[in-house]
Amino acid sequence: MKLDVTNLTQRFDATTVLDRLALATGEIQALVLVGPSGGGKSTLLRILAGLDVPVAGSVAFDGSPLPRDEESLRRYRKTVGTVFQAYNLFPHLSALDNLLLPLVRVHGLSHAAAVARVREPLERFQLMAHAHKRPAELSGGQKQRIAILRALVVQPRRLFLDEPTSALDPEMTAEVLEMIGELKALGTQFVLVTHEMGFAKRVADEVAFIGDGRVLAHGTADEMFNRCDEPRVRGFFARILA
């Protein structure tokens, strides 16, 4: 994927969250957004995923501009997958039914076709044994992996993941990061917001540091973590990686 963001601005009431943000990537598979809390990472991700519309500026993936009208955005959202830190699983449904629901209700697959589609990924990611459990019966790591799988089984062009491990303990975090790493190996395109800097170094093709609603630095993982000369970025990494 190739992402081009120009003069992106987003406000909520009187607060400017994104301030003429600009970002242009190369042809990459994985973009990781890092930076301080409140800097604008999640707001940017929601716009990229078609969940919010900016007040100004433009976004294009692979040369195709993101639409701004709701009908076109609904069609766009069907082509991508989004994962949040809070899982957003339906508590009254089993893990399997959480996977089947968007395939049947949104994408129009028959129940049999939907079951056939989810069987292989459930087995690949060692989740088949938990397929008939409800979310309350799953660990945090299992719930988040089911949430990622739900986004994946719709066969999206790319995934958007917003701090998917922030609510997890270290062991469960490792489970989820291992799954995301496997997705990278399988060729899945994704944009990831994370505070897991060690993982970001391993998985990112490019890293964008977001602060004060702007991109303060951007480059390859090596350039950002080992050779970035932006003082605020170096200070942030020094604190996080210490």
**Over the stretch 32-54, which tens digit does the pLDDT of each residue have?**
999 999 999 999 999 999 999 99
Which tokens in the block code for residue 43? 């707001």
**Residues of the chain above pLDDT 90, percent:** 86
239: pLDDT confidence band, cut at 50, 70 and 90? confident
Q: What is the per-residue pLDDT across 92-151, written as a single tens digit (0 to 9) for each?
A: 999 999 999 999 999 999 999 999 999 999 999 999 999 999 999 999 999 999 999 999
242: pLDDT confidence band, cut at 50, 70 and 90? low
CB 72 within 8 A of CB 35: no
**Domain 28-53+70-80+157-242 listed as CATH 3.30.300.30:** no
**Residue 30 in this model has a pLDDT that exceeds 70:** yes
Task: Give the H or E element holding residue 83.
Answer: strand 81-83
Closest CA to 193 of 40, 1, 2: 40
Domain edges within the chain: 28-53+70-80+157-242, 89-155
| Mean pLDDT of all residues in 74-91 | 92
CB 230 within 8 A of CB 216: yes
Per-residue model confidence (pLDDT) at position 171:
87
Per-residue model confidence (pLDDT) at position 85:
83
What global pTM score does this model have?
0.94
The whole-chain average pLDDT of the chain stands at: 94
Per-residue model confidence (pLDDT) at position 241:
74
Look at residue 218 and give its three-state secondary structure: strand
Burial bucket for residue 98 (CB in 10 Å: 0-12, 13-18, 19+): buried
Q: What is the DSSP letter of 189?
A: -
56: pLDDT confidence band, cut at 50, 70 and 90? very high
Q: What is the DSSP letter of 130?
A: G
